[in-house]
Amino acid sequence: MKLFNQGIPRGSAMSYAALLEKIEILRSTLRWATTLQRDDIEKLLRQANVLRDDVMQLSHKERFVQAVGAEPGPAKSTGERRQALLARSFVFEGTFGDNPRLLDALEIAEKAAPTDLPVLVDGESGTGKELMAKVIHANGSRADKPYISVNCGAIPDSLLESELFGHKKGAFTGAATDRRGKFESAHHGTIFLDEIGELPLPGQVKLLRVLQSHEIQRVGSDETISVDTRIVAATNKNLRRLIEQGLFREDLFYRLSVIHLTLPPLRERKDEIPLLIAYYCDEAAEALKRRPVKTTARLRDFLLGYAYPGNIRELRNIVYRMSCLAGETADLSHLPEDIRPAAARGQVQPAAVALSMSEAKRIASDEAERACLERGLQETSGAVAELARRWEMNRSHLQILLKKHGMHSKDFRKEA
């Protein structure tokens, strides 16, 4: 029985003609088959699955083209755009509000996700480029296929080719076995090329070749291997400037940036800050097994006005830090020292100046006490009686200490 070769054009080469051919082969297989064994049925089923994937891929592409060319219609408010994204079950591992620039980026990501078009994401450090790459993968037809991340800035030049394309045993000193590279691992899935601006020129030439031919060769091998890999690249560099400086190939830039997304820095989407703070307060509370930390009005003012050179990553770190250090309510004193406003620095740190020795001791001892209680409750999963027994302490005294620190044993209880 002739079953068609699944190596027929896939990915970007997929067309209606190729699809029809596959359907015809499947039909004639069925028409002329007199008996079908289980094995044959399995094969046909697999072919039907491939066919279904291809149809979906084509329809996604079509929808993307339609969406790009669609009439904007009456302008939607940012709130409506946000709601519409959520209503369309847009997968996003984070939070987003009504910021128009962020919504622009998310809408483009949503439309680009189901296609195989390469996407270039740029933006300052910590603006969410990697998250965006995962979003593009998760919202596309390859979501259940591999997502492979490569940090182009972290691979020594000498290992780059082997890392990306694999090698044959004995290809170079240290190549003890055959090894497949990242492109092969990402076959049918997505490869995320992070820090693409760090890729040295020889690596850029090799990457360009793969983008053009959809084929790779392992180092030390003559065999060409087809790879069907969706590419998302990210950089915090200005690639156009690198092109002017002769450090980045223009042809590669155009290959990578069919869809180009720029993530705005947090200081240019300040309206998102309260949402992000609330999101991370909850997340940190869960991670630290505590109630979400509250914030004083002056701390909130600071957090809303701060410039966040490290963008969302920095905000996240600040919230985790204050959730760890503060009791019920965080204040300016729980900010990292290097960004704390001078006035607050004067209040909290002057142990040697304004605070008496006993006051400084009390603060230090309180902090140690809280950390100790937290550890104890974690170890006993919130069983106060057990903790009192372990520490040979009066149980009601232990309860008083918990109350003093605003801690609740039930927050440490594990779900059955």
Ligand X SMILES: Nc1ncnc2c1ncn2[C@@H]1O[C@H](COP(=O)(O)OP(=O)(O)OP(=O)(O)O)[C@@H](O)[C@H]1O
CB of 301 to ligand X, least distance (A): 22
Q: Reduced to 3 states, what is the DSSP secondary structure of residue 35?
A: coil
Strands 190-194, 230-235: pairing kind: parallel
219 backbone dihedrals φ, ψ, rounded to 5°? -60, 130
Query: What are the b/e assignments for 99-134, b being 16+ CB within 10 Å?
Result: beebbebbebbbbbbbbbbbbbbbbbebbbbbebbb
CB of 150 to ligand X, least distance (A): 13
CB of 319 to ligand X, least distance (A): 11
User: Which residue is at the shortest CB distance from Mg ion?
Assistant: 130
Does position 233 interact with ligand X (CB under 6 A)? The reply is no
* 127 vs 323, beta carbon nearer ligand X: 127
Q: Are 112 and 136 in contact (CB under 8 A)?
A: yes
128, interface contact from Mg ion, ligand X, none, CB < 5-8 Å by kind: ligand X
Q: Reduced to 3 states, what is the DSSP secondary structure of residue 45?
A: helix
* 11 vs 94, beta carbon nearer ligand X: 94
Q: Are 246 and 115 in contact (CB under 8 A)?
A: no
CB of 127 to ligand X, least distance (A): 5
CB of 74 to ligand X, least distance (A): 27
**The tokens of 78 are what?**
């940012």
- What gap in Å lies between CA 171 and CA 222, rounded to an integer? 11
Q: Reduced to 3 states, what is the DSSP secondary structure of residue 121?
A: strand
123, interface contact from Mg ion, ligand X, none, CB < 5-8 Å by kind: ligand X
Does position 409 interact with ligand X (CB under 6 A)? The reply is no
CB of 156 to Mg ion, least distance (A): 20
Chain-centre distance for alpha carbon 324? 24
Judged by CB under 6 A, the chain residues 118 through 157 that form the site for ligand X are 123, 125-131
Q: Are 119 and 232 in contact (CB under 8 A)?
A: yes
- What gap in Å lies between CA 273 and CA 256, rounded to an integer? 31
- What gap in Å lies between CA 195 and CA 97, rounded to an integer? 27
CB of 345 to ligand X, least distance (A): 27
The one among 12, 25, 26, 94 contacting ligand X by CB under 6 A: 94
Judged by CB under 6 A, the chain residues 264 through 293 that form the site for ligand X are 276, 279
Judged by CB under 6 A, the chain residues 347 through 406 that form the site for ligand X are none
Judged by CB under 5 A, the chain residues 130 through 159 that form the site for Mg ion are 130
CB of 192 to ligand X, least distance (A): 10
The one among 193, 210, 299, 312 contacting ligand X by CB under 6 A: 312
376, interface contact from Mg ion, ligand X, none, CB < 5-8 Å by kind: none
> Would the CA dihedral through 308, 311, 314, 315 be positive or negative?
positive
Does position 236 interact with ligand X (CB under 6 A)? The reply is yes
**The tokens of 284 are what?**
């940190």
153, interface contact from Mg ion, ligand X, none, CB < 5-8 Å by kind: none
Closest by CA to 233, choosing from 148, 138, 141, is 148
The one among 66, 95, 329, 381 contacting ligand X by CB under 6 A: 95
First CA to last CA across the chain, in angstroms?
55
Does position 53 interact with Mg ion (CB under 5 A)? The reply is no
Query: What are the b/e assignments for 279-289, b being 16+ CB within 10 Å?
Result: bbbbbbbeebb
399, interface contact from Mg ion, ligand X, none, CB < 5-8 Å by kind: none
265, interface contact from Mg ion, ligand X, none, CB < 5-8 Å by kind: none
The stretch near ligand X (CB under 6 A) out of 74-82, 92-100, 210-218, 254-262 is 92-100
CB of 124 to ligand X, least distance (A): 7
Closest by CA to 134, choosing from 232, 244, 29, 26, is 232
The stretch near ligand X (CB under 6 A) out of 73-81, 310-318, 341-349, 374-382 is 310-318
Judged by CB under 5 A, the chain residues 112 through 131 that form the site for Mg ion are 130
- What gap in Å lies between CA 97 and CA 101, rounded to an integer? 11
Q: Where on the chain is the footprint of ligand X (CB under 6 A)?
A: 94-96, 123, 125-131, 236, 276, 279, 312-313, 316
Q: Where on the chain is the footprint of Mg ion (CB under 5 A)?
A: 130
